[in-house]
Chain A
Amino acid sequence: MKNAKTEKALTGIEWAIAQTVGEPRHADEFTCAEFVKAGGGNSRAAASSRLNRMVIDGMLTKRPFSMDGSSYTLYRKA
């Protein structure tokens, strides 16, 4: 049904997509919203500011993460 060129293109696309899949989320990683829920700040803005300060101070690391079609920042103890 498919010719070799189609097959090659499909394989190539699947390989290229696989390269864009990041590391899975780890159990000790959390989002800003989860930090707020856990009492990390009175508002999302305050929590975000506090988290960013901790990243700058080297207490946390952060990385972008895609979940359910939306982008998030995940934080973790350094």
Chain B
Amino acid sequence: MAFKRFLYCADSHGDLIHNESAKKLLKFADDFKPHYRIHGGDLWDFSPLRGGASPEDKAGGISEDYNAGIRFLDEYKPNLLTLGNHDDRIWQIARDNNNGVLREHCADLVKATEAEFKRRKITWVPYVIGKYLKLPEGGPKFIHGFRSSNVSPAKLHHADWGSCIHGHVHKPDTYVATHADGGLSMSSGCIGDIEKMHYADRYSSKMGWRQGFIYGMINDKTGSWHAWHVIKEGGDWISPMGIL
């Protein structure tokens, strides 16, 4: 019997990345030496492509954002990646948008991005409700997350996906299932810079957001697993291993 280690981070949001969080994550990865590195989506922010984006959002462009996302891919080196709702904007526009020029350029960027994933040997899944990542040993489903409620997000996602690890809500949360078969779901903190995500400045849920990531271990024979949060609380990075 042996255990394999995995590391999950999500919501780095392109050029809105929180540099301190990224450094903590990469240092942790160096020490922890995970067999699997998973990016749980929202690698990019793509705010100019948001429906109802303001002229100020649009003026920002997307090149910096895109480059920052690719840079983070090269630093974090995930084996597995799921797209998030922010990433999916280019896939969505490439599929169905009434602005033909924008649609065609997004289709080109989709092709180029899929080639970038392939070149880095990243197994990835689109942001589609029934698609998720799973380790060869079993364990939880890895998804980006679809529900936006910050009230018990892990429990809400567990109801739809069973045991899962997800991002999307930027709020660390854990749900231990009260079920004969057991089960555990976790919502991860984010790697993006919470202060810079102005689109949520008026949502009270933002007060529950934290920078953070998740690490875990899985039994390669039985698939049994457990995982733990690393959370920035105040100025400290708190993990069950101690203060990082």
Contact = CB atoms under 8 A, between A and B. Distances in A.
B109 A68 contact: no
Interface in B75-94: 90
A17 interface: yes
Q: Is the interface of B mostly helix, strand, loop or mixed?
A: helix
B77 to A, nearest CB: 15
A21 B101 contact: no
Nearest to B104: A12
A28 interface: no
B112 A5 contact: yes
Nearest to A71: B52
A3 interface: yes
B67 interface: yes
B102 A67 contact: no
Given A1-B70, A13-B102, A69-B199, A6 B112 contact: yes
B53 A69 contact: yes
Contacts of B182: none
Contacts of A19: 101
Nearest to A5: B112
Interface in A3-54: 3, 5-6, 8-22, 24
A2 B67 contact: yes
B33 to A, nearest CB: 26
A15 B113 CA distance: 19
Given A1-B71, A10-B63, A18 B58 contact: yes
Contacts of B199: 69
A36 to B, nearest CB: 22
A66 interface: yes
B63 A14 contact: yes
Nearest to A3: B112
A68 to B, nearest CB: 6
Contacts of B59: 21
B58 A21 contact: yes
Interface string A52-69: 000000000000001111
Q: Which of B49, B55, B70, B109 is most buried by chain A, counting CB atoms within 10 A of its CB?
A: B55
B109 A17 contact: no
A55 B3 CA distance: 72
Interface string B46-71: 00111011110111011100110011
Given A2-B67, A71-B52, A13 B58 contact: no
Interface of A: 1-3, 5-6, 8-22, 24, 66-71
